[in-house]
Structure 1
Amino acid sequence: MSSSVRLRVFFLFAAGYFVSYLFRGVNLGFAPLITHDLGLSAADLGLLTSLYFIGFALAQIPVGVLLDHFGPRTVTAGMLVFAAVGIWVLGASQGLAGLMVGRLLIGVGVSVCLSAAFKASAQHFPVARLPLVNGFTMAVGGLGGVAVGSPLASLLQVANWRQVCVGLGVFTLIVSATILLFAPRKSDARHQADIVTQFKGTWHILKSGAFWKIASFSVVTQGVFYAMQSLWIKPYLLDVMDLTPAHASALVSVLGLAMMFGSVGFGAAARGIERRGISVYAFCGGGMVLFVITQILMVLRAPLPPAVLLAAYGIFGGTGILSYAIMAEYFPSHMIGRTNTTLTLVIFLLIFGFQVGVGAALSFWPSVGGRYPVSAHLTVWISLIALQVASAVWYAWPSAALDKGKQAVH
């Protein structure tokens, strides 16, 4: 396959993931404006923002079946239309119920983007290159994390949040049409199994010991990372680190940039480290441990510049994404779409749970001027760190499930 086709596949589907990431974190900029307009509490805001993730999660299993049956090109282009409608509903809403419907539609609409990008990459690139290609895909998506920091804050100085919603919907439709028109049609070659058989394959994945072993640590760390990055990291910077809103927005962009570099760097290094005798599984685990250590340093309020801590948080926060490449070693190619969406399902259910849980937990403390006590944030962060440590123990615990899984594929 020519390099030009591969590059086209990469950029088109990475653009779809950029849209997904942009919608994921857009409430960081919208939150104070929506809260002011509609008088939302922290619990309301947590629920509203997390509906993206529950919509995303609930769509994963049917989306995985559709990807393996119809291919990423058609499915991605069609689903992005729902996202465009969702952001328009959000921007037009005058109450919490309408905002919730819009946010849910957005989550469903972009639910295909990450798995479609990984599916298209698995179709067009050799397995040995997938950690790097997936890392670059995450980096392009990470630009969305950068965009919801200072760039969005600047845009909201000249346009209101409802006008921004209209523009985002138009941009989403442009990306949808571009994928439909220019992505290779070969990507939509159908797998011959019928839909019922496809769903049975998903059930097989959910029963797989290898799947849960690979997923154990990454789903918890990714759940924490994205729950914080898409909503709660900015309140932490404001309330605990006592930064100005402008400084906090700048650090959100730093986090997004760092996540981009971390995804590419870890993806590029993974196979080279493997040639030196360290598996991608172990390398991924090491990166996630560094992510947990970074959180501990933040909770201890280590005497380091906030930019350094946020950069480390971003660099190591995305390392769990290597789990998608690891899955390709344990499941056959015709099941990769469902394997990826099943992994994404678990991650996004946890993001939903963590995001709602953090908002509910913070609401136990009285807020002053929209800010919560330092003790409230630290209690939440310590609880999440404890969960990640427990999942790390499971990930590192010896198991025969991985050997059996690899033997079944090869």
Structure 2
Amino acid sequence: MPSSVRLRVFFLFAAGYFVSYVFRGVNLGFAPLITHDLGLSAADLGLLTSLYFIGFAIAQIPVGVLLDHYGPRRVTAGMLVFAAAGIWTFGASHGLGGLMVGRLLIGIGVSVCLSAAFKASAQHFPVARLPLVNGLTMAVGGLGGVVVGSPLASLLQTTTWRQVSIGLGVFTLVVAAAIALFAPRNADSHHQADVISQFKGTWHILKSGAFWKIASFSVVTQGVFYAMQSLWIRPYLLDVMNLTPAHAAALVSVLGFAMMLGCVGFGAAARGMERRGVSVYAFCGVGMALYVLVQVLMVLRVPLPPATLLAAYGVFGGTGILSYAVMAEYFPSHMIGRATTTLTLVIFLLIFGFQVGVGAVLSRWTPEGGHYPAAAHVTVWGILIALQLASAVWYVLPSRVLHKTERAAS
């Protein structure tokens, strides 16, 4: 296949994931303004922001079926229209109910972006290159995490969050049109099976011991990472590290850049380590363990510069993404759409739960001057670290399920 076609596939679908990532974290910048306008509590804000993730999650199984049946080009272009409608609803709302509807629509609309990118890559790139290509896709998406830091904070000093919402909707439609017009039509090739058979394939994945073994540690670490990055890391920086809003916004961008570097670096290194006898599964596990270690250092408030801790948090926070490449080794190509969307479903359900849960725990303390006490944040991190350690035990326990037998399934 010509390299120009592969590059076109990569950039178009990575742009879709960039849109998804911007929407994921845009409430980092919007939150203080929306909270001021509507008088939201931490629990309200956590629920509002997390509706993106529940919308994303509930759409995953039907999206996986659609991807495998109709292909990523048509499905992605169509679904992004819902995201544009969602952000316009969000920006036009003057009550919590309207904001919630808009946020839910956004989550549904961009629910296809990550899995479509992985599906298109699996169709056009050799399996050996997928860790790097998937890492690069995550890096492009990670730019969205950078944008919602200092750039968004600066923009909101000259315009309103409602005007930004209008602009985001227009940009989303431009990306949708580009994918519809310029993505290769052979990306729409699909496994010839009826919809009932497609859903049976999803059920097969959910019953798979290999799926749950691969997913165990990564879904929890990814759930924690994105729940914190997209909302709660900023309050932590303000309340515990006592940073100024401008410094906190800058560190959010640092985290985004670091995640990009981590995704690319770990993706590039994964196959090299495999040639040295270290499986992608094991390499992914080491990266996730280092991510948990960074969280422990943050909770212990070790005397390291905040930028160093946030950079390490970002670099290791995205390593669980290698699990998607591991899935491609255990499931046949015509089931990759459903395998990746099922993995994403579990991750995003956990992000939803963690965002709501963190808000609920923080709300047990009374904020003073708009800030929660350090003890509240330490309690939150302690619970999250304990959950990740429990999932790590399952991940490392010996098992016979990882024998790549799933690739024979249909």
Q: Give the deviation of 1:371 after TM superposition.
A: 0.9
Q: List per-residue Cα deviations over 1:283-307 (Å, max 9, x = no partner).
A: 0000000000000000000111000
Could you tell me the TM-score, scaled by structure 1's length? Answer: 0.99
Distance 1:12 1:407, change over 3 A: closer
Distance 1:409 1:279, change over 3 A: farther
Alignment of 1:49-64 (within 5 A): 49-64=49-64
1-structure distance, mates of 2:190, 2:110: 22
- Structure 1 equivalent of residue 368 of structure 2: 368
- Structure 2 equivalent of residue 335 of structure 1: 335
Unmatched 5+ residue regions in structure 2? Answer: none
Amino acid at match of 1:338: R
Does residue 345 (structure 1) correspond to residue 345 (structure 2)? The answer is yes
- Structure 2 equivalent of residue 191 of structure 1: 191
Does residue 273 (structure 1) correspond to residue 273 (structure 2)? The answer is yes
Could you tell me the TM-score, scaled by structure 2's length? Answer: 0.99
2-structure distance, mates of 1:328, 1:203: 17
Unmatched 5+ residue regions in structure 1? Answer: none
Assess if the C-alpha contact under 8 Å between 2:332 and 2:406 holds in 1.
no
1-structure distance, mates of 2:116, 2:269: 24
2-structure distance, mates of 1:259, 1:353: 22
- Structure 2 equivalent of residue 163 of structure 1: 163
Amino acid at match of 1:71: G
2-structure distance, mates of 1:316, 1:38: 36
Q: List per-residue Cα deviations over 1:140-196 (Å, max 9, x = no partner).
A: 000000000000000001100000000000000000000000000000013210000
- Structure 1 equivalent of residue 217 of structure 2: 217
Structure 1 residue runs of 4+, over 2 Å off? 404-410
1-structure distance, mates of 2:407, 2:69: 26
Q: Secondary structure at the match of 1:360?
A: helix
Amino acid at match of 1:296: V
2-structure distance, mates of 1:58, 1:222: 18
- Structure 1 equivalent of residue 380 of structure 2: 380
Assess if the C-alpha contact under 8 Å between 1:329 and 1:409 holds in 2.
no
- Structure 2 equivalent of residue 70 of structure 1: 70
Alignment of 1:177-188 (within 5 A): 177-188=177-188
Amino acid at match of 1:396: V
- Structure 1 equivalent of residue 16 of structure 2: 16
Assess if the C-alpha contact under 8 Å between 1:330 and 1:409 holds in 2.
no
- Structure 2 equivalent of residue 139 of structure 1: 139
2-structure distance, mates of 1:380, 1:261: 27
Amino acid at match of 2:198: Q
1-structure distance, mates of 2:407, 2:317: 31
Q: List per-residue Cα deviations over 1:196-233 (Å, max 9, x = no partner).
A: 00000000000000000000000000000000000000
Amino acid at match of 2:12: L
2-structure distance, mates of 1:9, 1:298: 39
Q: Give the deviation of 1:407 after TM superposition.
A: 7.2
Identical-residue share of aligned pairs (%): 83
1-structure distance, mates of 2:117, 2:404: 28
Assess if the C-alpha contact under 8 Å between 2:91 and 2:161 holds in 1.
yes
Amino acid at match of 1:129: R
2-structure distance, mates of 1:89, 1:171: 15
